Structure 1
Amino acid sequence: MLTWEVGEGFAHATRLLLIARQLRQTGWRPAVAARDPETLRSAYEAEGIELFPAPQHESCFTGTPPFRAASYADVMGICGYADRDRLAASLAAWESILARLKPAAIIADYAPLLSLAAFRRIPLIPIGDGFVVPPALPEGGFPPLGGKVPDVWPPADLLANARAVQAARGQPLPENLPEIINGIGGVVSIPPELDIYADWRPQPAAGPWEHPDTPLPRPDAPRFFGYLRLSHPLARRIVKALIDTRMPGALFLRDIPPGRADALAGELKAAGIRLHGTPPPIREALAPASLFIHHGGIGSLTDGATLGRMQLLLPRHREQSCNAKRALETLPGCFRIGENARDESLRETLPRLMSDRQAFRRAQETATRIGARPETAWAALQPLLAGI
């Protein structure tokens, strides 16, 4: 069984579809529990892969927004570990699925609740980007996420809740939180340059699931492609600046305000900017672009890095902020603009970034280096599967 329990976007659905397809070719019979089974449903159906919804859970965070996780322990807390009753209900929902499927193994892509439901009973392999496969510290905790902030919940309380629920179920008791998540061993499926836990991890990230496509050639002129949510204030201002500067490019936008779609489409068309109605294939979208503007999701960052494009990052939440910090340290050609940048500054900065030949050359060199590596996440998964 493959599972995606938490998180948004196409990356989880795409990753699990790829793995399920490859597993079936090697003799496994995959079934996929997805947080949002409508994402890529037609692709799963075309492959004949069983797809069903993962049990839903409610946030346990009752404080003043925004939620700022100090470590992955707080991520576990908000998903259910902070409330024993909710945690017990989530595990009961998973238990019924496990009883029906009787999986020989579980591949878990951001699935902290299922990880406890299956703890020490079913071999579980966590996979995904660095954020969702955190390493364990020697003392039994998780590394901090970015800058030091207070724990939302004491990790000891979260562990106590997990142990109490497991005891009530008559199931094995964890000694610490990381051993719940880490299963029999994980696979970090990103280039090491993008692993936010690289300094704590005993082995480097395995790299993408497959060898990356050949880096794209330089476009014939400076252009951009943006994949943005207009619910983000800076993203709205960036789009306005792109319209004002009339730089050529294309956008895919989510969270367009009600009643604004037609007017915005007209403004973009008048500025010579193409508005995609659905997400275009990323290689096709980035082929004519020199600059990729997005929020710092790990899938987008990996695409930009392996295809050789400069990237402007507008993180929306804690995970994306951690991703952006790591990318700015390790990936030449990545940029970030401050939330308080003036509109005039945006209009000056965006054309300059799109036309930065030196930064573009360094981004292409990085893509070539990543693509030349022989390691893949699929290869790293094989010894774990063989041991089951």
Structure 2
Amino acid sequence: MLTSSAPDTVADVPGKGRTILLAWEMGEGFAHAGRLLWVARRLIRSGWRPVVAARDPATLRDAYEAEGIDLFPAPPHAPCFTGKPPFRAASYADVMGVCGYADREKLAALVAAWEAILAQHQPAAIIADYSPLLSLAAFRRIPLIPIGDGFVVPPVLPDGGFPPLGARQPDVWPPANLLANARAVQERRGQPLPDNLHQIVNGIGGVVSIPPELDIYAGWRPQPAAGPWERPEAPLPPPDAPRFFGYLRMSHPLARMTVKALIDTRLQGELFLHDIQPGMAAALAGAGILLHETPPPIREALARASLFIHHGGIGSLTDAATTGRMQLLLPRHREQTCNAKRALETLPGCFMATPRTSAETLRAELPKLIANRHAFRRAQACAARIAARPGTAWAALQPLAGPRVIRKQDRRLAAGGVCFRPSCAQA
């Protein structure tokens, strides 16, 4: 097990100083960095030495450095998609395709870059958050556990494929071609050949670290999502008066329209905005809206709000669901749209604006929404139900990441003639 019976003590030290690699190579925002930081802190308590490869090492860098955690950039990759925008993945196979699997030579170079990192750090195991390229580099050589929200830990269909993302549509790339590229890269490296794409990213088993209400693959998953990493606190009490908190990117047209409607209606609240436009800060100040220069602690910000306005990232959805806040969702891309549609089906107090939503509609509906006591009470009741569940993602990780499992995997791989240590496998 990763921890003793008292998870917050170090009486039992099963890690015994061994290195474990935590990685994040796709996706944006604080959710990935925060998730790995949470896990790394608890691995340290259990005697492991975590090192972290991050897509954006600047995100939460100070927090990682305060823990003494070795932090470095994951190998960067450019999208393989060259068609007419926007890119719309039919399934997780296309997600693998766009990050490198659609181009055999690019995939080989990215795997080689990960190989160098593995050879340098010699991890006993890997915890991978949205890291399909690393998953191939480590395939059947190092025990790898994918973690994250439902989107990044997809289930497998009987044919070895992935469920569709939303309404069925043609694949951007035939999955068979992506698999052929992966097998060619592995054959060139003298490494094990995968039978299907899911086998690559599944590792020795994944942990879906969100409430089941937010799992876009809930209908295909044989076991429900494990829940948050730790049991949420009780829902936050209502604020003194109806207020909003918004976390938005102003490069998105609907975000700009929504912020303008908040100014026009003089609703009270707070915002953190990426890509803010000239003159916007003055307009917000004139309307009495507090603009944060840096992201505030989310629970503190939501304690002062009844409505959370955001784009539908899984971290923001989970924060709102567990604190008992109403949500207005403005999805920017396919993953957020899938998240938003799932939330509308399962989370009381969720609402979504679409590209067809007009400025007039926003000005008319926002004051009604922020004062909707019935929707707020239902959001609080849902948060209480989530908090009452005993299961956590940390508990689900224990049987997968325990040293006994890792040693068993080591023996199995060695028995199969595959060298476990990265430095022993040369391309």
- The TM tier, using the shorter chain, reads over 0.9
Counterpart of 1:67 (choices 55, 65, 87) is 87
Q: Distance in 2 between matches of 1:64 and 1:282?
A: 37
Report how many residues are paired. Answer: 384
1:82-97 to 2 correspondence within 5 Å? Answer: 82-97=102-117
Q: Does 1:39 pair with 2:59?
A: yes
Q: Does 1:103 pair with 2:123?
A: yes
- Name the residue aligned to 1:340: 356
Q: 1:290: Cα distance to partner?
A: 0.7
Counterpart of 1:116 (choices 119, 131, 136) is 136
Runs of 4+ in 1 over 4 A off after TM superposition: none
Q: Does 1:129 pair with 2:129?
A: no
Quote the sequence identity (%): 77
- Name the residue aligned to 1:298: 314
Q: Does 1:385 pair with 2:413?
A: no
- Name the residue aligned to 2:96: 76
Structure 1 counterpart of 2:286, one-letter code: A
CA offsets, 1:242-290, max 9 Å, x none? 0000010010000123xx1xx2111111111000000000011111111
1:16-35 to 2 correspondence within 5 Å? Answer: 16-35=36-55
- Name the residue aligned to 1:369: 385
- Helix, strand or coil at the partner of 1:153: coil
CA offsets, 1:20-43, max 9 Å, x none? 110111111110001111111111
Structure 1 counterpart of 2:27, one-letter code: G
Q: Does 1:3 pair with 2:23?
A: yes
Higher normalized contact order (CA 8 Å, seq sep 6+, divided by chain length): 2
Q: Distance in 2 between matches of 1:341 and 1:322?
A: 18
Q: Distance in 2 between matches of 1:124 and 1:209?
A: 18
- Name the residue aligned to 1:191: 211
Q: Distance in 1 between matches of 2:303 and 2:399?
A: 36
Q: Distance in 1 between matches of 2:354 and 2:127?
A: 38
Q: Distance in 1 between matches of 2:286 and 2:300?
A: 23
Q: Does 1:256 pair with 2:276?
A: yes
Q: 1:79: Cα distance to partner?
A: 0.3
CA offsets, 1:326-345, max 9 Å, x none? 00000000001231222221
Structural RMSD (CA) = 0.7
- Name the residue aligned to 1:312: 328
- Name the residue aligned to 2:412: none
Q: Which TM-score applies when normalising by structure 1?
A: 0.98
Structure 2 counterpart of 1:113, one-letter code: L
Q: Distance in 1 between matches of 2:166 and 2:45?
A: 40
Q: Which TM-score applies when normalising by structure 2?
A: 0.89
Counterpart of 1:143 (choices 150, 159, 163) is 163
Q: Distance in 2 between matches of 1:42 and 1:212?
A: 25
Structure 1 counterpart of 2:79, one-letter code: S
Q: 1:89: Cα distance to partner?
A: 0.1
Q: Distance in 1 between matches of 2:114 and 2:75?
A: 7
Q: Distance in 2 between matches of 1:363 and 1:383?
A: 33
Q: Distance in 2 between matches of 1:118 and 1:264?
A: 47
Q: Does 1:181 pair with 2:201?
A: yes
Q: Distance in 2 between matches of 1:318 and 1:344?
A: 26
Q: Does 1:268 pair with 2:268?
A: no
